[in-house]
A and B are shown apart, each in its own frame.
Chain A
Amino acid sequence: MLFLTLLSPTVLSWKNELFRKSHWLRRLFLLALAAGFWLGAYWTVRRVLVYFQSVHGLGPALAFQLLLIILLTFLSMLLFSNLITALSAFFLAQDLALLRSAPTASGDFFAARLTATTINSSWMVLFFTLPILAAYQSVFRGGAFFYLWVALVLPLFLVIPAAAGVLVTHLLVYLLPARRIRDVLFFIGLIAFVILYVLFRVSRPEQLMNPESFGFFLQYLSAMDTPSAPYLPSSWAAEIFGAALFQRPADVWFFFPLLASYALFLVWVGGSVSALVHLAAWSKAQESRQGRRKDRLLDAVLGAALSPFPPAARAVAVKDVKSFLRDTTQWSQLFLLAALIVVYIYNFKVLPLDRSPIPAATLRAMAVYTTTIPTQAYRSSGRPEAGFVLSAVAVRFAFPAVSLEGKAFWILRSAPVALRSIVLGKFWLNLVPLLFLGCLLVFFSNKLLRVPDWMMLLSLATVILMTFGITAIGVGLGAMYPKFDYDHAAQIPTSFGGITAMIVSVAFVALSVMIEAWPVYLLASRSLRPDGAEPSLWVLAPSLALVAALTAAAVVIFVRLGLKSLESMRD
């Protein structure tokens, strides 16, 4: 069967990757990480569902609403990821010339690519859906029928966004050149994601956990026993699962055929459209993009800002900044960052500190130093959280710094520039914006919390130190695990090295926070003491010195490790 033949290179590549390469330790680590995430997702959802169930009479309704939200979120993620994957699979893949110049029928080609697209873009969503559904099953006991429905519904639920993505991609590429479309898709997708993310935070879902708001929530639920978007496949899937789990009076024999026929219809339409337009669209997709560039203002700004650096380091920095600003897949990530900052600062705005029985100033100071407690999602943290935000941002931007040289890395390797100055140049280039961001986050969150002056100073000093360490971890591990062969820049942080960088970075932040926790506790709790004795601010000095030493060690170790690893690439 030609369809299977067309899929065989992908399957064989996976098989060879799995059995021939012997990165067993790395695999074990990833497997443990995956198991951790899986169990974490199961445990979290199960806890929430058990809590819902304890609310008399409302449990199933709340759990159903949550299921609707989860499936809707997954559907939107799938739609976006399918658009990008379909674009690569149908129009940009390197094997297209080989396949389309062979006597392959359009139907077989479409079926093989649709299958590959569905698997590539959906496996991660599937990975997270299964523990969630298992948690539902363990709390609400849907029985064997529930598993049967899961097996029947999930493939259809995954095929629908894949077929829709493939269909939309074909139409878009038919009208515009593909490379431009990928940029546009990233841009639109990210903005959509940012809007959704901000809306989600501003809607304050944590209030669902707040018993005070149940008064109006009850009215809300009684008015809304049906899904808010009944025309979406996520709602149909939720209705089917809901019927099995909560014995809701839903007609599964209406919703399942609806889901199945919709999936088949989309596949059929996608196949027909592909047969009609694929060759013409692919032909267009191969046309290169052109555009004159002359950025005098940017040149002047960069020239002034980078004047203290030696010429080679300046040249690398100018190249990096220009490449970043001209690559939509890179700079559009700034939107994500903006959303992160808005949500972060908003978290502090909604902290209900004034309702606390503990003196507000004490609580504010303590809040800066407490980590988030899962059951009280609204009690957020200050500086540690800023550290975690910085870690996430460093993995997004500092970790890919070396990888972004890509296949053009030979230029730097064959130039009369020491590797050390290249890596250090990337360190400084990433450090400056991260320092700015870190100070900004800490300053505004502390202002919103109205913390004492000593806390503001300590937070700023610590975040400045931490940023050095976080940047070194990002750049150093990025040099240790470079990914020079990438489809788009956003893929780099999701590699093994990126995940490792995130874990190491978070551990570094956690360690720094732990070092300072005790003296901060002493100072913050002074107003609670009956004798009013105030410890001196000098109690902070040893721990601050220890954090400085830890940072220096992190910078030296990770920059050296990165350099050593890049050097050893020559072997």
Chain B
Amino acid sequence: MIRIENLSKHYGRLAAVDALDVEIPAGEIFGFLGPNGAGKTTTIKVMMGILRATAGRVLLGGFDVEREPEKAKAITGYVPDRPFIYEKLTGAEFLQFVGALHRVERPALARRIDEMLETFELSGWRDELVESYSHGMKQRLVLSAALLHEPGILVVDEPMVGIDPRGARKLKDLFLALAKNGVAVFLSTHSVGVAEEVCDRVGIIHKGKLIACGTMAELRSLAKIEEGNLESAFLELTSE
């Protein structure tokens, strides 16, 4: 469902992402793990066509993000790390706006908006301006928007920042449910616990390079540790 081929992104001489290769099939939750500044957000921005790659390509559902951006984006939901949204729209209006961008038909859109607001416990806030929302509520609203058009791919950047434990649990359950329904979830995080709990496979990015990729067992073997959790493997693999 997601194919990243030899992807590089350079800022001048700095290689933020360097020759990245990953393939994620439908129904898999892929954890993209790395320390701060490793290149996770840059990779995601290139995946979503917000940044242009220096080399390589990204295919979403078989569509090249550079060559067929509209088709690639139409089947993808995106949740950025910082949920800046239009402060002067209400929650419901924001969802209507995003639904229209994704060309969701009107009767279906109204139904989906109700469903999403209900799922993310925002029904009581649907007619409030976004500027009065808390950080967590904005995060939930952005998630609602990303799932509104029932995407086949979900790209999420640091989803747990600013979310309370109950919200985090619900979010993890949501990702698992989506994967069960065949959605490919690309989950960037610096939280080892989150990756360990929900991801089928984990890729570890460090200084722009994918230094390890595989299941928990494969990563342990790569890190040459017999016992222990993903955290031990992560620390071992990203040590200088």
User: A residues bordering B, Cβ < 8 Å?
Assistant: 179, 288-294, 311-312, 314-316, 318-319, 322-323, 326-327, 406-408, 410-418, 570-571
Interface set, chain B 106-164, CB cutoff 8 A to A: 127-129, 131-132, 145
Contact B88–A323 (Cβ < 8 Å): yes
Choose the segment among B20-28, B90-98, B227-235 that binds chain A (4+ C-beta atoms closer than 8 Å): B90-98
Given A322-B89, A408-B86, decide whether A571 and B100 contact each other with a Cβ distance below 8 A.
Answer: no
Contact A319–B97 (Cβ < 8 Å): yes
Given A292-B127, A293-B129, A416-B73, decide whether A312 and B85 contact each other with a Cβ distance below 8 A.
Answer: no
User: B residues bordering A, Cβ < 8 Å?
Assistant: 48-52, 69-74, 76, 78, 80, 82, 84-86, 88-90, 93, 96-103, 127-129, 131-132, 145
Report A547 CB to chain B, min CB distance, Å.
Answer: 37
Contact A410–B49 (Cβ < 8 Å): no
Report A457 CB to chain B, min CB distance, Å.
Answer: 40
Report B16 CB to chain A, min CB distance, Å.
Answer: 12
Interface of A, secondary structure class, is: helix
Given A319-B89, A415-B73, decide whether A312 and B50 contact each other with a Cβ distance below 8 A.
Answer: no
A-B contact pairs, 29 of them (CB 8 A): A179-B131, A290-B129, A291-B132, A292-B90, A292-B127, A292-B128, A293-B90, A293-B93, A294-B90, A312-B101, A312-B103, A316-B101, A318-B97, A322-B88, A322-B89, A323-B86, A408-B86, A410-B50, A411-B98, A411-B101, A411-B145, A415-B101, A415-B102, A416-B70, A416-B72, A416-B73, A416-B74, A417-B70, A418-B69
Bound CA–CA A425/B51 (angstroms): 23
Report A287 CB to chain B, min CB distance, Å.
Answer: 10
Contact A293–B128 (Cβ < 8 Å): yes
Q: Which residue of A lies closest to B92 (CB)?
A: A294
Contact A288–B131 (Cβ < 8 Å): yes
Contact A416–B71 (Cβ < 8 Å): yes
Bound CA–CA A289/B129 (angstroms): 9
Contact B101–A571 (Cβ < 8 Å): no
Given A326-B88, A408-B84, A571-B52, decide whether A315 and B101 contact each other with a Cβ distance below 8 A.
Answer: yes
Report B87 CB to chain A, min CB distance, Å.
Answer: 8
Contact A570–B49 (Cβ < 8 Å): yes
Report A385 CB to chain B, min CB distance, Å.
Answer: 34
Q: Chain B residues near A571 (CB, 8 Å)?
A: 51-52
Contact B100–A312 (Cβ < 8 Å): yes
Q: Chain A residues near B70 (CB, 8 Å)?
A: 416-418
Contact A413–B103 (Cβ < 8 Å): no
A291 touches which of B89, B99, B102, B129 (Cβ 8 Å): B129
Q: Chain B residues near A406 (CB, 8 Å)?
A: 84
Q: Chain B residues near A288 (CB, 8 Å)?
A: 131-132
Given A318-B97, A413-B48, decide whether A294 and B127 contact each other with a Cβ distance below 8 A.
Answer: yes
